[in-house]
Amino acid sequence: MCGIVGYIGNKDAYPILIKGLQRLEYRGYDSAGIALFNGSLNIYKQKGKVSQLISFTTEKDKKGSIGIGHTRWATHGEPNDVNAHPHTSGNGRLTLIHNGIIENYAPIKAMLQREGHVFESDTDTEVLVHLIEEIQDKENLSIEEAVRAALNKVIGAYAIVVIDRNDPDKLVAARKASPLVIGIGEGEFFIASDATPIIEHTKQVVYLNDGEIAVVSRKEGLQIKNITDNEIRTPFIHELDMQIELLEKGGYDYFMLKEIHEQPTTVDDCMRGRLNAKEGWITLGGLKEHKNKISKANRFIIAACGTSWHSGLIAEYLIEDLARIPVEVEYASEFRYRNPIITENDVVIAISQSGETADTLAALELAKRKGALTYGICNVVGSSIARVTDSGSYIHAGPEIGVASTKAFTGQVTLLTMMALCLAREKGTISNSYFHTLITELENIPRKVGEALKCDAQVKYIAEEIKDSPNALYLGRGYNFPVALEGALKLKEISYIHAEGYPAAEMKHGPIALIDENMPVVVIATNKSAYEKVVSNVQEVKARKGKIIAVVNEGEKTISEIADYTIEIPHTEEPFTPLLSVIPLQLLSYHIAVMRGCNVDQPRNLAKSVTVE
Ligand code: G6P
């Protein structure tokens, strides 16, 4: 988390940095700050969002064609003006922005205090900039050498950019376990946590690798070295393929709403060139590459966090049901610390929208050490997970800006559905006719997602009725159980209503005690196989006077007659039901959050890209 930007060139840095920070605000919005060099260093920083920084700097000197900026998600030290980045060395010569955590900051701080350093903030970042200063002063080193020497002493994760007032024609950047991209323009360079602040200036980018330090200078261009041994690395220039309109709200009030409505297109984009029902084929390049190892795997282990973990749960149903390969789904943060059994015959699949989630990355490293094949399912092109895995597939959902994931979820589920179908075909675990039925229906899903979105007005009406409830329960069975979890997560993330997702039948073992006339219970009842069972569960809720909101298939009567409110979505084959049943739940959480006056795109305490453990 935290977003960082840097600029060096011939233009005014301020507008470039501010716009870049706004693009990166999804990574954290506890405070924002910038440093501009124009003969001297001007540093402005404020608690709160980038908009507050803009107001704060209205009357200030904003000149300078070199600068750095930061938007913070607090780890060490509460969100306030002093803890905001950039942080400055004691002599005022260096200023630095940081995304990550310096884990051994405490002993370094104690050592520096013994040397006379005085700290203003509670942050680990300030310790790092003082350490660089200490080394630079004692050993009389250039800024890049001092940064490199300091980084060799720290443990933890970082993406940093540093300005040295006495050597101001360059920016020094480095990364370990936090992302950093360098944009190469005409006589100018851009540095950012991801490509979104860069895309409108240049399409040529270099993704810094872990353990690399880069110097960008007006005179000498870009130079990259290894942090540990100082060896020169040849930069690999990528051409960005991203449309700038996708980074704008396009007339919607919130990015989340825009992203919900993009889903007919994003699901289609995910399938483009990978599926042809008429010709009867489905393919994924990443699977083909390692076909033998993947289809003969003993089992799949899926590691992910948050919404991506819910996609993983759906994949467990899909892959076991269709391809008959055992699947285990793990919270990445638990998996890596519990000494799991991983063998060379396992395939470890990481699912991650951002491709940067620290725990998911660490789970992959563990899997690699144990010799398993690793497969990444990511949205962000060129992200760390996409680069460290042996193989993988992008979901092609385009930039997702709203902190609550929507189109990335349906993109992941679409991709995992295709994966299950490819494997089922390869292994012969489903009949030809069922395979053809499924791929024909999969091609219809983008259109059906569009139809499901038509429930918006009905969902808005229901939102009005339940928006003041302090709690909500979401129930589903089979393929719809992970959807219940996802619906509950969406509601708590953006409206701050406590919500729980449960397997419908498991409700009897606890949550039923909570049900009374004030408890909204969202029941997802679109699966045909367990329909009668779900009807019984709905009756159990009704008997306790719970307020039932049922998501059902078009024309369905039994549950509609019992429920207080009904939302209809199109019929589909059972394995594809999550792609449709999640749509009303996304809309429900959106409308409730708006009605409660919440900032839908930037919910409190959350960040979209969790690059710390
Ligand atoms: C954060 C985000 C969630 C996301 C999760 C995993 O918690 O707020 O929306 O699902 O991280 O992120 P990833 O990028 O790995 O999918």
Model confidence pLDDT, tens digit, residues 340-369:
999 999 999 999 999 999 999 999 999 999
User: Average pLDDT in the 44-54 region?
Assistant: 95
Q: Which of 357, 406, 409, 589 to mutate to test the pocket of ligand 1 (most atoms within 8 A of CB)?
A: 357
CA of 169 to the centre of ligand 1 (A): 37
- For ligand 1, atom 1: residue with the closest CA: 608
How is residue 110 written in tokens?
């104690």
The dihedrals phi and psi of 555, each to the nearest 5 degrees, come to 80, -5
Query: Above 90 in pLDDT, residue 177?
Result: no
Over residues 396-446, the pLDDT tens digits come to 999 999 999 999 999 999 999 999 999 999 999 999 999 999 999 999 999
Provide the b/e sequence for 15-34 (b: ≥16 CB within 10 Å): ebbbbbbbbbbbbbbbbbbb
Mean pLDDT of the chain: 94
Ligand 1 nearest atom to the CA of residue 380, by list position? 14
Answer yes or no: are the C-beta atoms of 342 and 316 closer than 8 Å: no
With bands split at pLDDT 50, 70 and 90, how would you rate the model's confidence at 298?
very high
| Amino acid at site 333 | S
The alpha helices in 25-123, defined as continuous H runs, are: 50-56, 105-114
With bands split at pLDDT 50, 70 and 90, how would you rate the model's confidence at 305?
very high
Strands 281-282 and 221-226, bridge-based pairing:
unpaired
CA of 165 to the centre of ligand 1 (A): 37
- For ligand 1, atom 5: residue with the closest CA: 306
Bin 545: left if φ > 0, else alpha if -120 < ψ < 50, else beta.
Answer: left
- 3-class DSSP state for residue 11? coil
The verdict on whether 608 is a catalytic residue reads yes
CB under 8 Å to 92, separation ≥6 — which residues?
A: 41, 165
Answer yes or no: are the C-beta atoms of 400 and 294 closer than 8 Å: no
Q: Is 352 in the pocket of ligand 1 (CB under 6 A)?
A: yes
The pLDDT value given to residue 64: 97
The pLDDT value given to residue 374: 97
Lowest average pLDDT, out of 53-57, 335-339, 495-499, goes to 335-339
- For ligand 1, atom 13: residue with the closest CA: 352
CB under 8 Å to 457, separation ≥6 — which residues?
A: none
Tell me the helix, strand and coil percentages in the chain, rounded to 5: 40, 25, 35
The pLDDT value given to residue 332: 95
Q: Is 606 in the pocket of ligand 1 (CB under 6 A)?
A: yes
Strands 156-164 and 94-102, bridge-based pairing:
antiparallel
User: Average pLDDT in the 155-183 region?
Assistant: 95
Catalytic residue among 49, 176, 547, 608: 608
Answer yes or no: are the C-beta atoms of 492 and 596 closer than 8 Å: no
Secondary element (H or E) of residue 222 = strand 221-226
Answer yes or no: are the C-beta atoms of 86 and 60 closer than 8 Å: no
Q: Is 357 in the pocket of ligand 1 (CB under 6 A)?
A: yes
Query: Above 90 in pLDDT, residue 244?
Result: no
The pLDDT value given to residue 73: 87
User: Average pLDDT in the 443-463 region?
Assistant: 97
Q: Which of 608, 611, 613 to mutate to test the pocket of ligand 1 (most atoms within 8 A of CB)?
A: 608
Q: Give me the half-sphere count of Cα atoms (radius 13 Å) on the Cβ side of residue 570.
A: 17
- 3-class DSSP state for residue 485? helix
Q: Is 396 in the pocket of ligand 1 (CB under 6 A)?
A: no
SS (H, E, C) 298-342: CEEEEEECHHHHHHHHHHHHHHHHHHCCCEEEEEHHHHCCCCCCC
Lowest average pLDDT, out of 381-385, 450-454, 522-526, 548-552, goes to 381-385
Query: Above 90 in pLDDT, residue 591?
Result: yes
The pLDDT value given to residue 289: 86
The pLDDT value given to residue 251: 84
Answer yes or no: are the C-beta atoms of 548 and 515 closer than 8 Å: no
Provide the b/e sequence for 546-576 (b: ≥16 CB within 10 Å): bbbbbbbbeebeebeeebebbbbbbebebbb
- For ligand 1, atom 8: residue with the closest CA: 608
CA of 259 to the centre of ligand 1 (A): 15
User: Average pLDDT in the 485-506 region?
Assistant: 95
Query: Above 80 in pLDDT, residue 78?
Result: yes
CB under 8 Å to 370, separation ≥6 — which residues?
A: 342, 343, 344, 346
Strands 327-331 and 299-304, bridge-based pairing:
parallel
SS (H, E, C) 168-195: CCEEEEEEEECCCEEEECCCCEEEECCC
Answer yes or no: are the C-beta atoms of 303 and 327 closer than 8 Å: no
How is residue 549 written in tokens?
């909101």
How is residue 42 written in tokens?
């001007």
Q: Is 611 in the pocket of ligand 1 (CB under 6 A)?
A: no
Over residues 183-241, the pLDDT tens digits come to 999 999 999 999 999 999 999 999 999 999 999 998 899 999 999 999 999 999 999 88
User: Average pLDDT in the 64-75 region?
Assistant: 94
Answer yes or no: are the C-beta atoms of 8 and 66 closer than 8 Å: yes
The Cβ of residue 129 has, within 10 Å, a number of other Cβ atoms equal to 26
CA of 176 to the centre of ligand 1 (A): 20
Q: Is 66 in the pocket of ligand 1 (CB under 6 A)?
A: no
Edge-first strand listing for the sheet containing 565-569:
498-503, 471-476, 520-524, 547-553, 565-569
Share of the chain above pLDDT 90, in %: 83
The pLDDT value given to residue 392: 96
Distances (CA, A) of 4 to 17, 166, 256, 293, 499: 9, 22, 23, 39, 33
- Distance (Å, whole) CA 17 – CA 45: 13
- Distance (Å, whole) CA 70 – CA 482: 36
Answer yes or no: are the C-beta atoms of 487 and 588 closer than 8 Å: yes
The pLDDT value given to residue 324: 97
Ligand 1 nearest atom to the CA of residue 306, by list position? 10
The pLDDT value given to residue 201: 96
Strands 281-282 and 238-239, bridge-based pairing:
unpaired
Give me the residues paired with residue 220 across strands.
Answer: none
How is residue 251 written in tokens?
């007339």
Q: Is 242 exposed, middle or buried (0-12, 13-18, 19+ CB in 10 A)?
A: middle
